[in-house]
Structure 1
Amino acid sequence: MSPLAARLHAALPQTQCTRCGYPDCEAYATAMAAGEAAHNQCPPGGAEGVRRLASVLGVPELPLNSANGTEGPRTLAVIDEDWCIGCTLCVKACPTDAILGLNKHMHTVIEPYCTGCELCVPVCPVDCIALVDASGERTGWDAWSEADAQQALARYERRKVRVRREEDEHAQRLERKAEEKLADLPAHTHGAEGAEADRKRAIIEAALARARAQRQQPR
């Protein structure tokens, strides 16, 4: 990040909700610093958030862009455990690893870690996640704190590291499997010969290339 983007990033609430139109708070900050995004696209920060960003940029304040959402109280995701089927889709969607649960087992929300980002709600196939008011009349930064933002950012960064590690481990497993098949192609292609053997070799080589490319992607 550029110095300006870093200052803008530090002024955001770090809910990682994507309502600004970007995949996370860092991407939004980078876009603002580059003049590619306005400073009124963060509903969780509300009017106070817009003021903070305007101050960093040295520009006039703007009303919150209603296309991105409205300022409201802090919300907390709550899972109806009687309806939860343990699909893990909400676990994968949560940017701060605030949902605990295993495949085909009941899930639950770890309340202090939930940012109210709402990303878990649309992915639930049985509609068992509700958002409840967690701050009453307090909205925007009045319902949030610097400590909350720092905790959310730290958990988000740890999650990114974990996800990258798991993706790399998965790619390594696929790479080893493809290499093993290429090393003994006849055994793994059930004695295929000629064009059929060439076709299967090409498939395995393509899978190997994809696995290697995935591990080499910059993150």
Structure 2
Amino acid sequence: MDILFDNITALGSLTAIALGFGALLGFAAVKFKVEGNPIVDQIDALLPQTQCGQCGHPGCRPYAESVAEGEEINKCVPGGDDTIHALADLLGRDFVPLDEEHGATPESKMVAVIREDECIGCTKCIQACPMDAILGAAKQMHTVISDECTGCDLCVEPCPVDCIDMVPVTVTLQTWHWTAPKGIGSRPGELIPVRNIA
């Protein structure tokens, strides 16, 4: 009879402990609940936050959510290859070059150019530029910093006098660079510094 009582007591003790741990885990699940998907936050942190829409999404957060669900990682034009490499490292995917449909290749990159003699200084293009690539002040001439411009063309439509053109970037000796063939660098398409052998 004592053995039966001991077994019932042990079983009751184990049940009480299990219920206690279950209640504790339930409380912890509610108290420390993670809002949203943490991988989306990590992807979003790697994106440039320009909200330019060149990827086909209305902003960086929606694109991050799509990438987390399996969309390609090569649609962020302002982020370029650096962002694609960072996303590939984070998600364990292979590097893929920038998608030509969503951005410009080095041969076809476009930049905004303001016809300065027609500019009225309304600042609407400055407000529309996600990269802060336009300089100017109210009622003063504006100009584009071509090295900062990603060619998103978000500044063209707000211009009331239509003085902004999208022009292709011309390749010069200063802007041309050689891209290593796949397999030579540590990452496909990575630039390898050329050593002077002389």
Match for 2:84 among 50, 58, 65? 50
Give the Cα separation in 1 of the matches to 2:142 and 2:161: 15
Alignment of 1:67-78 (within 5 A): 67-72=101-106, 77-78=112-113
Q: What one-letter code is carried by the residue in structure 1 that aligns with 2:128? A: A
Alignment deviations for residues 114-159 of structure 1 (CA, whole Å, 9 cap, x no partner):
44343113433433224575982369xx9xxxxxxxxxxxxxxxxx
Equivalence for 2:66: 31
The answer on whether the counterparts of 1:121 and 1:129 sit within 8 Å (CA) in structure 2 is: yes
Structure ranking higher on relative contact order (CA contacts 8 Å, 6+ apart): 1
Give the Cα separation in 2 of the matches to 1:114 and 1:77: 10
Q: 1:100 to 1:23 in 2, by over 3 A?
A: farther
Equivalence for 1:79: 114
The answer on whether the counterparts of 2:121 and 2:140 sit within 8 Å (CA) in structure 1 is: yes
Q: Given the alignment of the two structures, is residue 59 of structure 1 paired with residue 93 of structure 2, yes or no?
A: yes
Q: 1:109 to 1:15 in 2, by over 3 A?
A: farther
Query: How far apart are residue 89 of structure 1 and its match?
Result: 3.2
Structure with bigger gyration radius? 2
Match for 1:136 among 164, 171, 175? 175
Give the Cα separation in 2 of the matches to 1:2 and 1:112: 37
The answer on whether the counterparts of 1:80 and 1:129 sit within 8 Å (CA) in structure 2 is: yes
Query: Matched residues, percent identical?
Result: 39
Equivalence for 1:94: 129
Equivalence for 1:180: none
Q: How many residues align?
A: 138
Q: Where does the alignment leave 5 or more consecutive residues of structure 1 unmatched?
A: 143-219
The answer on whether the counterparts of 2:121 and 2:142 sit within 8 Å (CA) in structure 1 is: no
Q: Where does the alignment leave 5 or more consecutive residues of structure 2 unmatched?
A: 1-35, 179-189, 191-198
More helix by share: 1
Instruction: Tell me how large the CA RMSD over aligned residues is.
Output: 3.8
Bigger mean CA deviation after superposition, 64-73 or 51-60: 64-73
Q: What one-letter code is carried by the residue in structure 1 that aligns with 2:156? A: V
Q: 1:3 to 1:112 in 2, by over 3 A?
A: farther
Give the Cα separation in 2 of the matches to 1:20 and 1:76: 17
